[in-house]
Structures are given as C-alpha cells and as structure tokens.
Chains A and B, each alone.
Chain A
C-alpha cells in the first residue's frame, strides 16, 4: 500500500508524517473516519485544493476508504513540537480556550470533542497536537471564511464563527507548542455522550 500511495506521501511526507513546509499535515495515525471524510470533502468541493482534488477524481469510494484506513493504522513517533516565540499571556489564553472554552460566548473547549488528551476520538474526530501553527491558523481561518466545510450540520463552522482573530492565534499557538502525550492514539469512541457534547450537532460525527 505504501507503494500505491506514493502520490500522497510526496507532499504529506514519508509515511504521511507531514510535509516540510507546514501546509501538508500529518495524516499518519489520524482516525480513519476523519481521513475518509476529508477525502470526500476534497472530492465533493467542501475543501479546496486543486492538486488534491485532481488526484482523487479518478478514484472510487471503496479505494478512498482503503487509503484512509492504511494511513490511520500507521502508528509512528511524533517529532518534538517546533518552538515559537509567543508571549506567555497569549499561550495562557490559548490554553484556557482549548481546555475550558469560553462559556460567556458559548465557545466549547477543544477537549470537549477532540478528546481530553487532544489526540482525537475514534472514528471521526482528529487530534489537534503535532500540527504546525501555520496549518492550524490556515484551517481555522478557512472555516471562518467558509472555505473549509464539513458535512452539514457543520459544527466547526459554528464554533469558529464565534472566534476572534486573537482567539485563533492564541489557540493555534498553544496547541502547536504542546508535546504529544505518551499514548498518541485517538481515544476510543465514548459510549456515553455527555449532555454538553450532545449540544453540538456534527454532520461528520453522527
């Protein structure tokens, strides 16, 4: 399968460990459902990057699913996070938003859906650690601008529209500065859904 997917790893790095410039994220070890949804999003015009769409156009859903499962199953070590010069106040604000949210503005904590350890939740919620700040900023920015979308109802679109530019910088900076925990795998799907989580409707995670 590694040989069949050289078209993916040319940009996303050896074994999908991420490309060199920050814009091609790590795909290794992300939940299979998340990766599959992203492939469909690129193919069906909910995410926009022509070279990606061009690669997917001749493929069918069965093969896209197999590609997603292949990269999801790769359990590879993460590099240490890059160091950024960010003020402690900004990092503090980022940590608060990520771990507690902002109840006054109805912004949920990242940990509410992306797992207590922020390594994602099976089968469709991605981890947020081990990603460069540029990538996180670009994704949150595209969600605010409506350039990145997910299956409707689009929960991330609703959350990001409540965020200011300062919120985005703070939360991206904090997430990008965090080292991975010992267990980097996504958390198992929760059998009992808290009422808080229940309040957010996600088309990608029905």
Chain B
C-alpha cells in the first residue's frame, strides 16, 4: 500500500524523498561507526594478577567462594542439569537468552579460554571470539570485579568436571538478537568501569559496596530497567519490576520499601544469612538468592554488606507504578471490600498470622506494619497468596513453615477483598487491590500444566 502511494507522488517529491533516505542511511552508517568505535576502545587487557603469597589451592577456594557470591550456578545450570553446564533459559521481554556452559569442556565449554578471555567477558562483556554478550549476563555489574577475583573465578571453573553440552541458540526477536543492536545498547547503557574505592569511607564499607555493586550484582534486579532493558543508574537501587517473572525487587533506598537504614547490622546480616529476621523475611526470587548465595557469604562479608546498605541515600519519592491516593468513591469501595475481607481473614489467615496481623516470631511473618504487604507494586503480595511458598531452608532456618497456596481456595474477588483488608488494617495504609489485579496473576498460575 505504502509503495503505491509513493509511486503516485510527483517526481520532485520522490527525488526529495530519495535524498532524505540517503541522508538517513549515511547518518545510520556514521552512528554505527561511532558506536562501534566507542565499543572497541579501551579493551587493552590488564595483565593477569595474583595476590602474592596465595597458593593455587587458596586461589581455587577463593574462586569457589566468589562463584557462590555471584550465584553463577543459578543461571548457568538448567533444571536438573549438570552444575555450571549452562542451558537455562532466561526469559526477557526481547526473547529467551540461554546461559552458556562454564565447565572446562574443550568444545562446548571454556576449555579453550584463558584468564584474559575470561576477564574480557566479565569486564567488557565480550566472548572469546569477540562477539558482544547479551546483558542478561550481568556484565554491567561484573565489570567492577577486580582482575584478581576474575582470575580466581576462572581458576575455580577450570577445576570443575568438564561436561560436554553444546550451548543453546538464543531465541531473541529481531532486531534484539543482532550484534548491531547490542552495540547500540552498550553505547547507551554500558561502559566498562573498574570498582572505585571511596576514600572517605571505611575499608569495610568499600568491601560491602564492591560485593553489592560487583559480584553480588544486586543492581540487576533492584534497579529499574527502562523499555530497552537498560538500568536507570541515576536511581540506583530504587527498586525494579523484574520483567516476565513479574516479581518486584523493592527499593533498597526507600524506607517504605526495603531500605535498611533503620535496621541494625545484625538484623540485616540475619536476613541475608537465614532468609528471615525480626524486621522482615524474603520471598520469591530473593529467597533463592539467600538459598544459593547469601547464606554462604562469610560473616565479615555480610557485615560489610549491611554497613554499606545502611548508608544508601534514603528516598521518599513515590516509586514508579505507585497508585495515587484513592479518591472518595474509590475509598468507599475500598472500605466495602475490606469489610468483606475481614471474615475471610478470620477464616483463612488469622490462625497463623494472628487476629491483629501480629504473626508468630520465627514462623509466620507479622502482617501489621510489614512493608511487603504495603508495597505500592502489588505483584509479590498477590503471587505469594495465590501460590503460597516457603521461606528458604537455610542453615539458620532449616525447617521453614510453608504458606498454603490459595489459588484453589479463594476466588479472585475474595482474594482482592482479603488483601484489601490486610492492606488497610492495623495501621497499614495502602491502596486497595482489585479483582482484575488478582486475575492477571491467576492466569499465569493456571497456564502451567499439571
């Protein structure tokens, strides 16, 4: 249709159009060249490094610890598959990226790689053959990993049993899968950067900052991403909705969300080491982070992390997606919904969470004053109630209590009413939840076959 329209245009316009197209193409080529050039600079490889006096066994042990800290295994192992052999699909809004085989297999793994290749992948986000890597591999954080730590990680991976398992091809939609798209993305959102020590802060604080910003890659979830998947680093740690999974990683800066400025260091350490604390518990993807990663961090590293997290600048700003205060009619509806929710709460929830949402220490989280209940983004709350769940089984909490799934027990309307009741009772002040909000997540639950 469009072609027909163009042929019908007077020839002057046609010529003008051609000129425009030519100029546009030239601009594209020029931009591409600049973007490519930007990406190619500064890839001189730092010399391989080793901490003096460290034996080979020490290096491998440190590498194993760092792999835990970075939770490499979680993404680089498929469900039921060989550890570190890759093949797990990471769903993104642009398609699925499959993790790669990190075992030292010569043909399908890292067998042919050396420490420089590995450093280039972590620091520059480039594979051994020069291809740009997809940022589902969080090199935006790993870029801050020191050369010494990179070498230790590589030494550890080199000692894993080699597993022959070819990498799966990513299934990204055009044009996201192209190297050109990646070059453009990197020009906008990535610059290789070594970790910068803050001289005004203590060594402990700097260690925490390094763990959180570098190998721990907390930013990957706790910082919002824009429509192109770039992290909004101007609002670092201000919370982000994880795409596809639809879990909200709460803000680590806001006192209304998961900011810990007022927590004590032992409380923060306890949460990361066991999955629960007197001030709150983990759920969803964070429980798996605790299960596979943070429970194994050394007490010193957890303390350093706590010290750093406590100093994140507090924000009171309304995060993205926060619903505005309900207007009068909505408030009326909210009161009505909460009224209907009260008897449901008595029947289904009070047995564990208490008549006044007070909970039971070390077993059932309190709902009164619980920030996970009043989060402006309600995705987590709805999924917890629909699907139930356990706190992570950790050394410090080896036999967690389970929350039953309510998907089969309560209708969307009942769930909306009881959640609205919980969000507006016992001094909790949050917006109501609608039947539609619940239904969106129930569809996801039902989609999964038996």
Contacts and interface: CB of A to CB of B under 8 A. Distances in A.
Interface in A162-181: none
Interface in B383-431: 387-393, 398-409
B347 interface: no
A58 B409 contact: no
Interface in A22-73: 23, 43-46, 48-51, 54-55, 57-60, 62-63, 66
B361 interface: no
Given A8-B402, A10-B404, A44-B80, A49 B450 contact: yes
A85 B291 CA distance: 49
A46 B80 contact: yes
A93 B449 CA distance: 31
A57 B388 CA distance: 12
A90 B266 CA distance: 67
B446 to A, nearest CB: 10
Contacts of A194: none
B401 A51 contact: no
Contacts of B328: none
B79 interface: yes
Contacts of B402: 4-8, 55
Contacts of A45: 78-80
Contacts of B406: 10
B405 A51 contact: yes
A60 B291 contact: yes
A181 to B, nearest CB: 29
B393 A44 contact: no
A138 B449 CA distance: 11
B80 A4 contact: no
A148 to B, nearest CB: 10
A7 B275 CA distance: 18
A4 B450 CA distance: 24
A3 interface: yes
A66 B399 CA distance: 9
Nearest to B402: A7
A7 B388 contact: yes
A59 B80 contact: no
A51 B391 contact: no
Contact of B79 (A11, A44, A62): A44
B450 A6 contact: no
A51 B404 contact: no
B401 A3 contact: yes
B288 A51 contact: no
A160 interface: no
B393 A51 contact: no
The winner among A50, A138, A147 for most chain B CB atoms within 10 A is A50
Given A4-B400, A138-B450, A58 B445 contact: no
Contacts of A43: 79-80
Contacts of B389: 7, 54-55, 58
B100 interface: no
A10 B352 CA distance: 14
A4 B288 contact: no
B404 A4 contact: no
Interface string A119-158: 0000000000000000000100000000100000000000
B287 interface: yes
The winner among A6, A11, A59, A63 for most chain B CB atoms within 10 A is A59
Contacts of B3: none
A204 interface: no
Contacts of A23: 450
The 5 closest A-B pairs by CB, nearest first: A7-B402, A44-B80, A50-B448, A10-B404, A45-B79
Interface of B: 78-80, 275, 287-288, 291, 352, 387-393, 398-409, 445, 447-450
